[in-house]
Structure 1
Amino acid sequence: MSNELTISNPGAGSAGPATDVGGAGGAGQGGFASLPPNATRKAEIEAIMRTDFARYEDEGLDKEYRALLQGELEAANPERANPVAPMPADASRTVLCGSVEGQKLVSEWERMGGFRVILAGVQKDVGEIVKEAGNALHQKAFMERFSLSVPVEVEVALMDEFASGVPWAPPASQGEIDLFATTAAGKIMVQLWGAEAAEKVGILRKRAARLVDALTEDEEADLWAWFGGLDTHVITKAYRKLAGG
């Protein structure tokens, strides 16, 4: 969904986006994502693996080898890539600190209990929403559209809102529920929530108000223009995540 949450492998060429951290083969652990196919390097690592297995593990060559294998899979079939692979915490911190808003967020998360822990939770939530876009190619397109559609201030505000958790909110009125249900996604969620609709819509309204309070009018317009263009099933996933189920 954003560059702070996911990582692609620049220079990977046809290898595509990064593999899942801790996923197939755990290629992302230790700083490696998928790597461009490289038969020479692969052969070098295989030789070390056969002759000096301790070195193979101690130098992290096992992770590099799995990343090379994943790169080969992705080159043959781009849909095997995983665009929602979490960006390592240190890299996320560096990217966020490239803006004043991001610096403030990093500092706040450290005070709240630890940047790494909070970031991991946000990455998990956002990754689950992005996966609703479809296969790997659709997920990649989803994140590219997001990055092109909204400024960094919106990205940071969304990350902060996801980290804030589900708040208590006064139940929505029947009029507010009816208004929410005028959209396709809203109608689906009101039917799904049933008797809990007032509580859930109230939570969403509070979170939306809290989010836009952190944005300028132009930033808010960019946010809703992007959100309004999402597929219905992606929006319903976001609603469930933000409303707590």
Structure 2
Amino acid sequence: MKSDFARYEDEGLNKEYLALLEAEQYEVDPDSIPATRPLPADQSRTELCSSEAGRKLVHDWDRSGGFKAHLANVQRDVGEMVRTIGSVRDQRVFMERFDREVPIPARLAVYDEIAAGRGLYVAPASASEVKHFASTPAGRKLIEEWGSGAAERVAMLRSRAARMTANMSEADADDFWTWFDNLDVGPVAAIFRKLAG
């Protein structure tokens, strides 16, 4: 670091040093380290490629606009959702539960759906579909927020949920929806806002 700073950076020692400093800081005060700091693209690629489903996702993203671009979009959107959940500790617990309780193929289907974006126009949801959505605490809160745009946003959520579920096995989808159904109102509303927005 002192004698050849360019080499220090080229060999990635600056990142290693930063990781050591953050690990020390985390031991002193876990809430001082952001929970949503994204992994570098090369590290994310390596982790994803440790499973067959991950290798397929990396391949698909490489072919449709580039892995780094899709990863950056997913990391941004997930970070925005998670940061609305509460304290850094709450955010970390949320992400750890997601990683622990949702099977890898289901997690990857979620990431792929986030990367895909809202997609094409959907016909607004019917009054009964909006009413059903509003029967949950998060749904009721969001229907009030969305006002006259609620029918289109509910339809978008239904479309995205169906597409995401179709990309999971039945068992993985069951595990994902069980995890989702056990979330508190705040995280559910944050996820719905982002996916419908």
TM-score, normalized by length of structure 2?
0.90
- Alpha-carbon shift at residue 132 of structure 1 (Å): 2.6
- Alpha-carbon shift at residue 70 of structure 1 (Å): 3.5
Q: Using the TM superposition, name which of 81-90 and 156-165 deviates more.
A: 81-90
Q: Paired residue for 2:156?
A: 203
Asked if 1:222 corresponds to 2:175, the answer is: yes
- Alpha-carbon shift at residue 67 of structure 1 (Å): 4.4
Q: Secondary structure at the match of 1:133?
A: coil
Give 1:178's match in structure 2, choosing from 125, 131, 146: 131
**Gap runs ≥5 in structure 2:** none
- Alpha-carbon shift at residue 57 of structure 1 (Å): 4.6
Contact between 1:185 and 1:236, CA under 8 Å: does it hold in 2?
Answer: yes
- Alpha-carbon shift at residue 206 of structure 1 (Å): 0.4
Give 1:237's match in structure 2, choosing from 175, 180, 190: 190
- Alpha-carbon shift at residue 75 of structure 1 (Å): 2.4
Identity within the alignment, %: 44
Task: Classify 1:67/1:147 alpha carbon distance in 2 versus 1 (closer, same or farther; 3 Å).
Answer: closer
Asked if 1:59 corresponds to 2:8, the answer is: yes
Contact between 1:56 and 1:62, CA under 8 Å: does it hold in 2?
Answer: no
Superposition CA RMSD, Å: 1.7
Q: Paired residue for 2:85?
A: 133
Task: Classify 1:72/1:104 alpha carbon distance in 2 versus 1 (closer, same or farther; 3 Å).
Answer: closer
Q: Using the TM superposition, name which of 110-119 and 211-220 deviates more.
A: 211-220
Structure 1 distance, partners of 2:169, 2:122, is 24
- Alpha-carbon shift at residue 56 of structure 1 (Å): 3.1
Q: Secondary structure at the match of 1:59?
A: helix
Structure 1 distance, partners of 2:126, 2:36, is 37
Q: Using the TM superposition, name which of 148-157 and 88-97 deviates more.
A: 88-97
Task: Classify 1:63/1:99 alpha carbon distance in 2 versus 1 (closer, same or farther; 3 Å).
Answer: closer
| Higher relative contact order (CA closer than 8 Å, sequence separation 6+) | 2
TM-score, normalized by length of structure 1?
0.73
Larger Rg: 1
Task: Classify 1:207/1:77 alpha carbon distance in 2 versus 1 (closer, same or farther; 3 Å).
Answer: same
Q: Using the TM superposition, name which of 120-129 and 76-85 deviates more.
A: 76-85
**Gap runs ≥5 in structure 1:** 1-44
Task: Classify 1:95/1:70 alpha carbon distance in 2 versus 1 (closer, same or farther; 3 Å).
Answer: closer
Task: Classify 1:95/1:69 alpha carbon distance in 2 versus 1 (closer, same or farther; 3 Å).
Answer: closer
- Alpha-carbon shift at residue 204 of structure 1 (Å): 0.4
Show CA shifts across 1:77-120 (max 9, x none): 11112222111111111221222221111111111111001101
Matches within 5 A, 1:8-87: 48=2, 52=3, 55-60=4-9, 63-87=15-39
Contact between 2:138 and 2:188, CA under 8 Å: does it hold in 1?
Answer: yes
4+ residue runs over 6 A deviation: none
Contact between 2:85 and 2:190, CA under 8 Å: does it hold in 1?
Answer: no
Q: Paired residue for 1:95?
A: 47
Q: What is the count of residue pairs matched by the alignment?
A: 193
